């Protein structure tokens, strides 16, 4: 039978054998927690930076319209809303239609400017004199918006793309669909979107 002293000596000896492993586990857990806090803080800072600047989106996706004029020309309107907490300044908007094969320059392209777009306000660009045939295949509708943050002086550029179904049997499609990030990148490259 073991005495109490033997049991205590054995427990102390065993604890000393396990001490380096326990210390390593505690240090590893501490490092993982510290790293998680840093990642979380950076993500929060990125979200705060994005939310603290002007930022445009289609409020109703997509808030683009097409229609046929009495003279047969096509009308297109693109509307974006500043969802950021403060105004955007020196805004320039470029909108265009480019063939889905992306093997030619944009079929149509038009531009507009605005000195300032307050938070919560919309900016629209409309073109109502686009000559089109009775049949027109699908095209990408792109919108490039450049603006500055008057509070920081930082310039920004955003690039949006929708697929427009075109004109079939003389009927103008009012259907737009989202495109994949890959398609968006190809259109952006083809029309030199958001380049300095």
Q: What is the mean pLDDT of residues 66-72?
A: 71
41-50, 125-134, 174-183: which has the highest mean pLDDT? 174-183
User: What's the confidence (pLDDT) of residue 34?
Assistant: 77
Percent of the chain predicted with pLDDT > 70: 80
User: What's the confidence (pLDDT) of residue 121?
Assistant: 93
Neighbours of 193 (CB within 10 A): 20
Q: Work out the burial of residue 156: count CB atoms within 10 Å of its CB; fewer than 13 is exposed, 13-18 middle, 19 or more buried.
A: middle
DSSP per-residue codes, 8-48: HHHHHHHHHHHHHHHHHHHHHHHHHHHHHHHHHHHHHHHHH
User: What's the confidence (pLDDT) of residue 111?
Assistant: 92
For the chain, the residue count is 196
The two most distant CA atoms of the chain are separated, in Å, by 109
Across 161-192, b (16+ Cβ under 10 Å) vs e yields: bbbbbbbeeeebeeebeebeeeebebbbebbe
Q: Which residues contact 155 (CB under 8 A, 6 or more apart)?
A: 146, 147, 148, 149
Q: pLDDT per residue over 133-169, tens digit each?
A: 778 899 999 999 999 999 889 999 999 999 988 888 8
Q: Which residues contact 145 (CB under 8 A, 6 or more apart)?
A: 56, 80, 91, 92, 93, 94, 123, 157, 158, 159, 160
């Amino acid at each position: 039978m073991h005495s109490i002293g033997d049991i205590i000596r054995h427990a102390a000896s065993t604890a000393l054998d396990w001490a380096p492993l326990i210390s390593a586990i505690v240090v590893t857990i501490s490092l993982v927690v510290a790293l998680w806090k840093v990642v979380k803080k950076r993500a929060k800072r990125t979200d705060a930076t994005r939310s603290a600047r002007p930022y445009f989106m289609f409020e109703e996706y997509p808030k683009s319209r097409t229609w046929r004029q009495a003279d047969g020309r096509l009308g297109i309107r693109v509307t974006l809303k500043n969802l950021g907490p403060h105004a955007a300044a020196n805004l320039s908007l470029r909108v265009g239609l480019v063939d889905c094969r992306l093997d030619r320059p944009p079929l149509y392209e038009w531009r507009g400017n605005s000195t300032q777009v307050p938070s919560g306000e919309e900016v629209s660009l409309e073109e109502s004199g686009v000559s089109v045939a009775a049949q027109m295949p699908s095209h990408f509708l792109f919108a490039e918006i450049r603006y500055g943050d008057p509070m920081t002086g930082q310039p920004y550029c955003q690039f949006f793309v929708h697929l427009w179904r075109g004109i079939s049997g003389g009927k103008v499609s009012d259907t737009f669909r989202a495109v994949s990030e890959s398609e968006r990148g190809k259109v952006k490259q083809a029309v030199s979107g958001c380049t300095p």
